[in-house]
Chain A
Amino acid sequence: MAVQEVQPALDAEKLRADFPIFEQRFHGKPLAYLDSAASAQKPRQVLEAMTRFYETSYSNVHRGVYELGERATEALEGAREKARGFVNARSEREIVFVRNATEALNLVAYAWGLSNLGPGDTVLVTELEHHSNFVPWQYVARRTGADFRVLPVTEAGELRLDLLDGFEGVKVVASGLVSNALGTINDVARIAAWAHERGAIHVCDGAQAAPHRRIDVQTLGTDFLAVSGHKLCGPSGIGFLWGRAELLQRMEPFLMGGHMIRKVTAEETTWAELPAKFEAGTSPTAEAVGLGAAIDYLEAVGLDAIERHERELAAYALEQLGELPGVTLYGPPCDRRAGIVSFNVAGVHPHDVAQLLDLDAVCIRAAHHCCQPLMRRLDVAATNRASFYLYNTRDEVDRLVAGVRRVIEIHA
């Protein structure tokens, strides 16, 4: 591969103009949207691509022999090629469109898990996991009689990789690349290598990583990667699963119905080739087009520039919030953390913090972040979470900090 040029720093103020949502005011103030870890806002480029597709190229895909049908199929497959390039997969056959990362992870848990797990096997997840990479495995382990085990984290929310060797009979390790709750960046290559040495597979939740940093599945080490479109400036209702072709080929299908078959008779049905085997029913075509446009958008801005920008904002927020009395910060140091800052204010529930910040049009998330086991580990019911993206500015961090300062004053 050619040497990557260093991308210039991004200009968040300029990029904001691409996002119609920021034209509105909330409570009379410009929107400081610090909740992109939950879902990202959409640039005009994505919205226009979807509208244009509906207006000029829409029909059902795959079987239309008329020109319009071919146009729609081309749009869908064009989006698949963009998704392939986005994660540097070897082949577009390894890219399965799904609704979101949750569906991608369920696909693997069911389609791989149900026929490869049984009593005596261990399913290993981590305490950092989002429920989407935790609950499906817990459920499939119960269904198959496998043991379900959880790799703990340190106080700072980093995986205790030193404890890995204590787990036996492991057949699958499910872990995320970036923690949605704390921003922890995990050493997936090391965990996947550990899994492979034992003949286990590794399944990676990439939902929180893919929008914010460059991913290359050929060097990441994992066997499956789940990605949500809505977190990377694409529409809701579309995401993709990348999986190694040799594993996908051996797996049973997940959803049955149209398009995923080769031949159907009353006696037997045989499955279609990849990736159709995993794409039953009418595809979310306009959503895929939107996802493709979002990928183009991110690549034009530059993933490395996005990552650097968010890290600077997170470092600034950590420094500023850390100076406030009664504020507890969660998560690892900046160099091992993505653009996510999780914190609590002594004596004030996150809901009350978030509600007050909303009056300043500062949007943060106040919840368990779909990570109840992690919250229990940190001994909190919930945390406040500010998360950053390419359209956020230092000024918005200042507004966050000023709001938190006011919360502390009111509840003092």
Chain B
Amino acid sequence: MSEFEDMYREVILDHYKNPRNYGRLEEPHAHAEGQNPLCGDEVSISLRFGEDGETIDDVRFEGRGCAISQAATSMLTDLVKGRTAASVAALPKEELLDEVGIRLTPIRLKCAILGLGVLKVALHRAKGTPLPDEWQGLDVA
């Protein structure tokens, strides 16, 4: 069982079964959705900025997919609340992966960073911040 527990540690299953910040914001300032074409994971993220127009005040996600993709997106929403658009656009995926805290094969890595990519697309649309490399050239403008 230990290998399994390494991969699906309690915190992952907890975020999967009880996702944080789940739902959709009315009149969001930024919104995007995306799929992982490998497995059909889907995530949509909406967010609102605070009075400064830069700080993420509230963020929600909806989606369906594997435990890794949904738990990582749930963790991501906790991670970015209170940060500025520019800092989140520059957020290295390693910071999220540390939070996820499990060893990921290259295929599952794509599941784990799906939400982060979608969030960066939302910020790109709203603020013109840069897109991650893996989203370059896709129809996200």
Contact = CB atoms under 8 A, between A and B. Distances in A.
A355 B39 contact: no
* Chain B interface extent, by class: 10 to 19
A351 interface: yes
Contacts of A349: 39, 41, 64-67
B66 A352 contact: yes
Interface in B20-53: 38-42
B39 A352 contact: no
Interface string B111-132: 1000000000000000000000
A356 B39 contact: no
A200 interface: no
B4 A351 contact: no
B68 interface: yes
Contact of A352 (B38, B42, B67): B67
A80 interface: no
Interface string B82-96: 000000000000000
Nearest to B5: A410
B62 to A, nearest CB: 13
A382 interface: yes
Contact of B38 (A355, A367, A410, A411): A367
B97 interface: no
Interface in A368-412: 368, 372, 375, 381-382, 410-411
Contact of B4 (A350, A356, A382): A356
Contacts of B108: 351, 355
A263 interface: no
B4 A367 contact: no
A368 B40 contact: yes
A351 B111 contact: yes
A381 B4 contact: no
B40 A382 contact: yes
Contact of B39 (A27, A359, A366, A411): A366
Contacts of A368: 39-40
A359 B42 contact: no
Given A351-B39, A367-B39, A359 B65 contact: no
A201 to B, nearest CB: 31
Nearest to A383: B40
Contacts of A410: 4, 8
A381 B67 contact: no
A214 to B, nearest CB: 34
A352 B17 CA distance: 13
Nearest to A381: B40
Given A368-B40, A372-B40, A381-B42, A359 B68 contact: no
A359 B66 contact: no
Contacts of B66: 349-352
A60 B116 CA distance: 49
B3 interface: yes
A356 B66 CA distance: 12
Interface string A326-368: 0000000000000000000000011110011001000000111
A26 B39 CA distance: 23
A381 B64 contact: yes
Given A349-B65, A349-B67, A381-B65, A355 B40 contact: no
A352 B42 CA distance: 15
Nearest to A356: B4
A349 B71 CA distance: 12
A381 B3 contact: no
Given A351-B39, A367-B39, 17 more contacts: A349-B39, A350-B39, A351-B111, A352-B8, A352-B66, A352-B67, A352-B68, A355-B7, A355-B8, A356-B4, A359-B4, A375-B40, A381-B41, A381-B64, A382-B39, A410-B8, A411-B13
Pick the 4 closest A-B CB pairs, nearest first: A351-B66, A381-B40, A349-B66, A382-B40
26 contacts: A27-B3, A349-B41, A349-B66, A351-B39, A351-B41, A351-B65, A351-B66, A351-B108, A352-B8, A352-B67, A352-B68, A355-B7, A355-B108, A356-B4, A356-B8, A359-B4, A367-B38, A367-B39, A367-B40, A368-B40, A381-B39, A381-B40, A381-B65, A382-B39, A410-B4, A411-B13
